[in-house]
Amino acid sequence: MARRAGVSQSTVSLVLSGKGAGRISARTEAVVRQAAADLGYRPNVAARALRTGTARTVGLVVTDVTHPFFGPVLRGAQQAAWRAGYAVALVDVANDPDRERASFEALRAGPADGFMFFTVDPPEGSGEHVVAIEVQPPGMASVRVDTDRGTELAVRHLLDLGHTRIGHLGSWLDAETFRRRIDAMAALLGDDVPYETAPFDYREACTATLRLLEAHPTAIFCDDDILAGGVYLAARERGLRIPEDLSVVGFDDLPFARVFEPPLTTVAIDPEALGAGAFEVLLDLIGGRPAESRVLPVELVVRESTAPPR
Amino acid sequence: MARRAGVSQSTVSLVLSGKGAGRISARTEAVVRQAAADLGYRPNVAARALRTGTARTVGLVVTDVTHPFFGPVLRGAQQAAWRAGYAVALVDVANDPDRERASFEALRAGPADGFMFFTVDPPEGSGEHVVAIEVQPPGMASVRVDTDRGTELAVRHLLDLGHTRIGHLGSWLDAETFRRRIDAMAALLGDDVPYETAPFDYREACTATLRLLEAHPTAIFCDDDILAGGVYLAARERGLRIPEDLSVVGFDDLPFARVFEPPLTTVAIDPEALGAGAFEVLLDLIGGRPAESRVLPVELVVRESTAPPR
DNA sequence: TTGTAGGCGTTATCAC
DNA sequence: GTGATAACGCCTACAA
């Protein structure tokens, strides 16, 4: 302990927790800091957590770590947390409802001051400090992307190009962000939009597309760029050229979208802002400040996978 | 506290920590559990950590959460940890050396029982319980993929096809896994392999490829599938057909590799096994058992981006 | 088979 | 401006 290196005991606490402002002499403070540095002393987090009842850790629960969209979200959240002196504990629910409940149990027992749920519906009784990402349970703080606008931009783009038979390849996840896409399309195109769903897996998305193609759409709007990749696969299999025979629009603007052949037209969003925003809202909640839900802007990136129908 | 709901106090501890075996009567145990359930009582992790000196948390430090390879690694690690009752705290170093030091500091102060460093060189004095992933510092436990074999498989494949001018598009990260690829290539092809490096970014990989093409290779081996994507971009820009004019081999077999046009020949590895293996080794270390480093097998997946040179 | 008591390293309150 | 001292909630001897 630094106590014997210095002269005192609770003084150390005052100094190291930054609460010595105007209470500890500059000289004593220097001595303490020096001793701490020499001994490589660090306050014990567990003891602090026990005493203060705060863990300086937040939990992030995510449906699927494997999805490329998730990385930047985590980066945003983690960096914002880092700046605020918080650690991020991560739970991957792996699309498994059982694990979802179980992992939440674990987290609740854990030393987290709050939680962010990414594309996961927060369980009942998650406590006060919860923010939902890309999900918007009533009465709960949330951060999400302007899905409605994104869908509208994409569909209007297709409409402007002259398409009339537009299909929808959706995620099979029953999350709000995806339900919104359905509604937004219905608002523009009516209720009889050809619709198939698939998990975020190229091959499965490919077979779902094959089913969708039976309705002979001239364009397909996809809930996500991976699903769009499945459309590319299906088009290749059927000998359909993109965009001549089939226009494709994705969502997310994942990095590989520009590498696809042809480069994918897609709705771009800023995943880091999503993560960072979620943490900031959570921090407000933790600090007892009023937390405002946020809706992040989107942008349509027109590349070469869309063209007028033949 | 469940104490008053039941009858006792330390009895609760015995029951809930599973150490009541043959010491607590079945009836008492039932009473305690019932009371705990009713009150929604959970042992306080901070107190337990303080008392036992163990946090049941491990840290995972990663160069770049944004890389698609990372997701499955985390999933493997997280699930193995989950099964063992551990939480995973994550730090994204974001390719930033400053943050690397700083985040480590934070972790060390944090309540982690051990660390996994993924493509990050573990700092000095990280303690006893450290395992390196895809890095192999002398005298430290590590888990990595059989890079040598993967590189050899890829290069031999190209050689068998009849290629003689084989270029190497490498990662600009100075990590062991990438140095090994250089050495393995040199062993098969000599020291004058055309070589360029790039970060894991399609556009930058594209411009690096453009430089590499000045040596007029008929095939390019890439350290990673994202870099291979950059080669596709460059080929498109130069009007080179893959594989007729240029063969391309990647590494990792990321999901999108099969969606590229043409589908990418690449070295497949199992990222989940990497993460899970790392945690298992770490758990051995934490448990005071001898930890064996592991080398995971690889496999060459031949798709359509490789063909004999014209 | 169960209860009692002490201490893990902090922070916070209160004397000095 | 600084030093005692009491808790935070748990685990673990040890006593009953």
Domain ranges of chain B: 1-42, 147-270
**Right CATH for A147-270 from 3.90.1010.10, 3.30.2420.10, 3.40.1350.10, 3.40.50.2300:** 3.40.50.2300
Residues contacting residue B240 through CB under 8 Å, at least 6 positions apart: B213, B234, B246
What confidence score (pLDDT) does residue A1 get?
Answer: 59
Distance CA B224, CA B178 (A): 10
* B259 Cα to chain A: minimum distance (Å): 6
Residues 37-66 of A with CB under 7 A from strand C: 41-44, 47-48, 50-52
CA-to-CA separations, B217 to A90, A251, B194, in angstroms, rounded: 44, 36, 8
CA-wise closest residue to B255 among A199, A93, A271: A199
What percentage of chain A carries pLDDT values higher than 70?
Answer: 93
Query: Nearest-CA distance from A84 to chain B in Å?
Result: 12
Specify the pLDDT at position A132.
93
Question: Is the whole model's pTM more than 0.95, yes or no?
Answer: no
- Summarize pLDDT for A189-232 with one digit per residue, the tens: 999 999 999 999 999 999 999 999 999 999 999 999 999 999 99
pLDDT of residue A88: 87
Interface test mutation site (partner B, options A17, A52, A67, A92, max chain B beta carbons within 10 A): A92
Tokens of B8: 């006792």
Q: CA B49: distance to chain centroid?
A: 28
pLDDT band at residue A31 using 50, 70 and 90 as cut-offs: confident
Helix, strand or coil, per DSSP, at residue B211: helix
Please give the Cα distance from A61 to A94 (Å, whole number): 10
CA–CA distance, B273 with B291 (Å, rounded to integer): 16
Region A99-121: mean pLDDT is 74
Task: Name, in order, each residue with C-beta under 8 angstroms of A23's C-beta and a sequence gap of 6 or more.
Answer: A14
Rg of chain B over all Cα atoms, to the nearest angstrom: 25
Q: Mind listing the pLDDT tens digit for each residue in A8-20?
A: 778 888 888 888 7
Is residue A100 pLDDT above 70, yes or no?
Answer: no
Q: Report the amino acid identity of residue B138.
A: P
Structure tokens at A123: 């369980």
pLDDT string in tens for chain B (310-residue length): 566 666 677 888 888 877 777 778 888 888 888 888 888 788 888 898 899 888 888 989 888 899 999 999 999 999 899 888 888 888 888 777 666 666 666 666 667 889 999 988 777 766 778 999 998 888 889 999 999 999 999 999 999 999 999 999 999 988 889 999 999 999 999 999 999 999 999 999 999 999 999 999 999 999 999 999 999 999 999 999 999 999 999 999 999 999 999 999 999 999 999 999 999 999 999 988 888 899 999 999 999 999 999 8
- Please state, in angstroms and rounded to a whole number, the distance separating the CA atoms of residues A174 and B253: 29
H or E element, residue B226: helix B225-238
Provide the chain B residues 99-158 that lie in CB contact (below 8 A) with chain A: 99, 103, 106-111
Nearest 5°: CA angle at B307, between B303 and B310?
Answer: 160
Between A300 and A57, residue with greater pLDDT = A300
Distance from CA of A154 to the nearest CA of B (A): 22
Burial A188-203 (b: 16+ CB within 10 A, else e): ebeeebbebbbbbbbe
Chain B residues lying within 8 Å of A253, measured CB to CB:
none
Which stretches does DSSP call E strand in B161-284?
166-171, 195-198, 219-222, 247-252, 265-268
Report the gap between the CA of A272 and the closest CA in chain B (Å). Answer: 10
Nucleotide nearest to A14 (CA to C1'): C11
For residues A129-145, average pLDDT: 90
pLDDT for res B4: 60
Pairing of strands B114-118, B141-145: unpaired
Under 8 Å between Cβ of A59 and A112: yes
Do residues A247 and A167 lie in contact, with contact meaning Cβ atoms separated by under 8 Å?
no
Which of B 218-247 lie inside 8 A of A, CB atoms?
226, 229, 232-233, 236
Within 7 Å of a protein beta carbon, the nucleotides of strand D are 1-5, 7-13
Spell out the residues 6+ positions from residue A285 whose beta carbon is closer than 8 angstroms to its own. A114, A128, A129, A130, A131, A141, A291
DSSP H helices in chain A: 2-5, 10-16, 26-39, 45-52, 70-83, 97-109, 147-161, 176-189, 202-212, 225-238, 271-286
Q: CA angle, corner A307, sides to A304 and A310, nearest 5?
A: 140
Instruction: Give the span between the Cα atoms of B231 and B262, in whole angstroms.
Output: 12
Of residues A166 and A50, the one with the higher pLDDT is: A166
The single residue listed with the structure tokens 């290749």 is A236
Instruction: Give phi and psi for A118, each to the nearest 5.
Output: -105, 110
**Residues in contact with strand D, defined as Cβ under 7 Å from any of its atoms:** A 7-11, 14, 22-25, 27-29, 47, 50-51, 53; B 1, 9-10, 13-14, 16-17, 19, 42-44, 47-48, 50-52
State how far the Cα of A183 lies from the Cα of B284, in Å rounded to an integer: 51
B124-151 exposure pattern, b = at least 16 Cβ within 10 A, e = fewer: eebeebbbbbbbbeeebbbbbbbbebbb
* Alpha carbon separation from B260 to A229, B66, B266, B302 (Å, rounded): 9, 20, 12, 13
Pairing of strands A87-92, B87-92: antiparallel
Measure the CA–CA gap between A51 and A23, rounded to whole angstroms: 22
Q: Is the pLDDT of residue A292 over 70?
A: yes
Q: Distance between CA A44 and CA A52 in Å, rounded?
A: 12
Residues A253, A69: contact at Cβ < 8 Å? no
Round to whole Å and give the CA distance between A228 and A249.
7
A222 CB neighbours in chain B (<8 A) are none
Summarize the confidence of residues A26-41 as an average pLDDT.
Answer: 84
Average pLDDT score over residue span A148-164: 98
Q: Using CB atoms, which residue from A47, A87, A258 is nearest to B202? A: A258
Q: Taking the CA atoms of chain A, what radius of gyration do you get in angstroms?
A: 25
